[in-house]
Amino acid sequence: MSILKDKSPSSTPISKYGEFGLINHLSSQFKCTLSSTKRGIGDDAAVLEFSEEKYHLLSTDMLVEGVHFDLSYTPLKHLGFKAVSVNVSDICAMNGIPSQITVSIAISNRFPVEALEELYAGIYTACREYNVDLVGGDTTTSISGLVISISILGEVDKQKITYRSGANINDLVVVTGDLGAAFLGLNVLKREKKVFLENPGSQPDLGGNDYSLQRQLKTEARLNFVRVLDELKIVPTSMIDVSDGLSSEILHLSKNSEIGITVYEEKLPIDYTTMNLASEMNLDPIFCAMNGGEDYELLFTMSQKHYEKIKKDVDFTIIGHVTDISSGNNFIAKDHTSHKITAHGWDPLLKKDD
């Protein structure tokens, strides 16, 4: 009998673990033995050592149709750009600079060559945007939908490498850009798809939502902010990109650095268009900012000695501070009440099987 169809009590559903729990479970038996492997599974990218001055970074991400994207409202060119951006973001989260990518795709026969040309036009645009080279990959068939897997290489000066671990008590907690817009953009697209399915003759009502839609469909990695930090001579003590939601990323930094983090509602950077759209859709903008995901901003901690360098920079917002691990992770609301931070971000492996 196939184990895939085995529903006996001894079978363990993947949803028991979730994405990161499953990674930890499956990888626990693997130990890095090569001297060139400086950091393996558990951060935004693997860290490899082949020279005296720099570390090389390696990461990979997979996007699966029906799980990570819906082609009924995702243009293929935008999808190609986004597939590269989410990988570049992993390199940024290590305080590194990307250099090369490989692209592997699995496609069904419903896609004509012209569709793939659109996809690769987006990949090409991203390569120019981030100054990376496409150096290889693989192509195969798929019996279901489109799958895109991109691996990326980057590098970072050894003294500037930044991990999820390393945060110190009393460090400042900083986030780039603003939060919540990408999640709301996704909700707009889902809303209009539902309307269309109920009334195929209707036209999508997307007016006035350009910013949120752009944040969802044309994801941009924050490579520019990595360069700004370098110019300011700031090396974060820990860092991660905001892909699954701010709350989830806070918990990752807390776990890996073995510290507590306190953030303040009144400090969260939320664009005014995001606030207005959330109100229109009867959603709490704070929930969107904390749990929406796909913002791909950078969340990092830094020494207080750097405060003067960024205090007036609108692209960097100090949202809290690092505490002792015994204090836990806390969200301070505007009414000064304290709430434990829990992860409500997106986890594809927690979805129940149909």
pLDDT in tens, the chain (354 residues): 454 555 555 777 766 656 556 656 665 676 766 878 888 777 899 999 999 999 999 999 999 999 999 999 999 999 999 999 999 999 999 999 999 999 999 999 899 999 999 999 999 999 999 999 999 999 999 988 999 999 999 999 999 999 999 999 999 999 999 999 999 999 999 999 998 898 887 878 788 899 999 999 999 999 999 999 999 999 999 999 999 999 999 999 999 999 999 999 999 999 999 999 999 999 999 999 999 999 999 999 999 999 999 999 999 999 999 999 999 999 999 999 999 999 865 455 455 443
Euclidean distance between CA atoms 6 and 15, whole angstroms: 16
The CATH number of 172-349 is: 3.90.650.10
pLDDT at position 40 is 76
Please tell me the class of the 15-160 domain: alpha beta
In 3-state terms, what secondary structure has residue 167?
coil
Tokens 């993947």: give the residue. 14
Q: Which residues have a Cβ under 8 Å from the Cβ of 63 and sit 6 or more positions away? A: 69, 79, 82, 83, 86, 147, 148, 149
Short-list 45, 29, 25, CA closest to 37: 45
If you write DSSP's letter for every residue of 6-26 in order, what string do you get? --STT---GGGTHHHHHHHHH
Numbered ranges of CATH 3.30.1330.10 in the chain: 15-160
User: Which conformational region is residue 318 in: left (phi greater than 0), alpha (psi within -120 to 50 degrees), or beta?
Assistant: beta
- Would you state the pLDDT for residue 321? 98
Distances (CA, A) of 327 to 127, 254, 302, 322, 340: 43, 11, 19, 10, 10
pLDDT of residue 348: 52
> Which amino acid is located at 286 in the chain?
I
Tell me the two tokens of residue 61: 């991400």
- CATH 3.90.650.10 range(s) for the chain read 172-349
Q: What is the pTM of this model?
A: 0.89
Give 77's contacts (C-beta < 8 A, 6+ positions apart).
Answer: 118, 119, 121, 122, 125
pLDDT confidence of residue 204:
80
